[in-house]
Amino acid sequence: MHLSVTPEAAMFREEVRGFIRENLPAEMVEHGGGVFSSNKAHIKYWQRALYEKGWGAPGWPVEYGGAGWSATQKYIFDEEMHVAGAPRALPYGTSMVGPVIYTFGSDAQKRRHLPGILSGDVWWCQGYSEPGAGSDLAAVKMAAVRDGDFYVVNGQKAWTSFAHMSDWIFCLVRTGGGGTKPQEGISFLLLDLKTPGIEVRPVISIDGEHHLNETFYTDVRVPVENRVGEEGMGWTYAKFLLQHERTAIAGVTASRLALERLRAVVSVPLDGGVALIKDAAFRRKLSEIAIKLRGLEYTDLRGLCDLEAGRPVGAETSMLKIYGSEVQQGLQELALEAAGYYGAQFGAPAREYLFGRAASIYGGTNEIQRGVIAKGVLGL
């Protein structure tokens, strides 16, 4: 690993910190270290501020409104945003469908959709999973049948995060079949959620929050011009999108902040005058998580070095997803243990712990990720 902190990188970090100090209202600072915010007003305000600064989409090419930053600059920016507690925009626009559109979409699609994604005025959600197609996305059944200049879409999507707050959804749909592989015959379609025939139903998760939904599609007429790229090539675009998703899913900074908060809490003496950190068993569990987090951080930095050297990011990113979710869950378990009865009944540790059970499922289950590593890295 060849990573050095140059004077230019240090200056850039100070520039980011200065922008945050000057533009982020104290009432919008989000404590708790979550990866993404669910406060739409806060997200829209902050995305607009970043957009006006030219930082609306750090990872995009300059020609499409991106910042033109190096991989190191993007890493620094992301880290400082987490540390400051700035509202974290949902990834479905800038990190997922945006790159698909500017890479594979038509000129008309770029003109129509990219400006709204950049400014935060148009919100997107992801329509991948179905009741019978979770991590096995090749099993999607939602059908899009060609009818002249339209597709007639029928089917269902499951676990559609923030669909109730979104304007558009990008979906994997089945436009053909009969191939030798289930990945064939899948297309990538953009749907306006205001289109007649679309119904969004809430799913309340185990933490008591509403961020998940089921979405149903009954004879929904979608213009063919809303298909990204070629018909039947959706699997290629989906893999491209997931690669973008998983390179940001390690959550190193969020976990590091959670570890620091936990250490501070368990260092406070209890009623008996002894802090929990003095307990050898608890201290050992905390140390094991800290070691695992350090390993995750250096694995993430090795990936950063690859990006800076122009080497492609491959299936190795699945390791970041596996260990990132395991570290997150381990910290949540220890936070709940430290909070004890009151935290379990009333506190944020319980909510974070409950929803955190899904971390090893969403974004592709850890079992699926191990299969990706076995095939793509080990050649099995």
- Which helix (H) or strand (E) segment is 227 a member of? strand 227-228
Structure tokens at 346: 């009333």
Pairing of strands 124-127, 198-204: unpaired
Termini Cα distance of the chain:
27
Helices (H) and strands (E) in the chain, counts: 12, 8
Structure tokens at 63: 């020609």
Check if 245 is active-site: yes
Cβ proximity of 60 and 94 under 8 Å: yes
Amino acid at 243: Q
Q: What number of CA atoms fall less than 13 Å from residue 54's CA on the CB side?
A: 7
Residue 334 DSSP one-character state: H
CA distance linking residue 60 with residue 118, whole number of Å: 10
Instruction: Count Cβ neighbours within 10 Å for each residue of 49-65 and write b for 16 or more, e otherwise.
Output: bbbeeebbbbbbeeebb
Q: How far is CA 284 from CA 278, 281, 290, in A?
A: 10, 5, 10
Instruction: Count Cβ neighbours within 10 Å for each residue of 137-150 and write b for 16 or more, e otherwise.
Output: beebebbbeeeeeb
Structure tokens at 103: 């890479």
The residue from 245, 297, 333, 337 that is catalytic is 245
- Which helix (H) or strand (E) segment is 240 a member of? helix 234-246
Closest CA to 258 of 319, 318, 336, 205: 336
Structure tokens at 51: 């957009």
Angle between helices 280-308 and 317-346 (to 10 degrees): 140
| Enzyme catalytic residues | 245
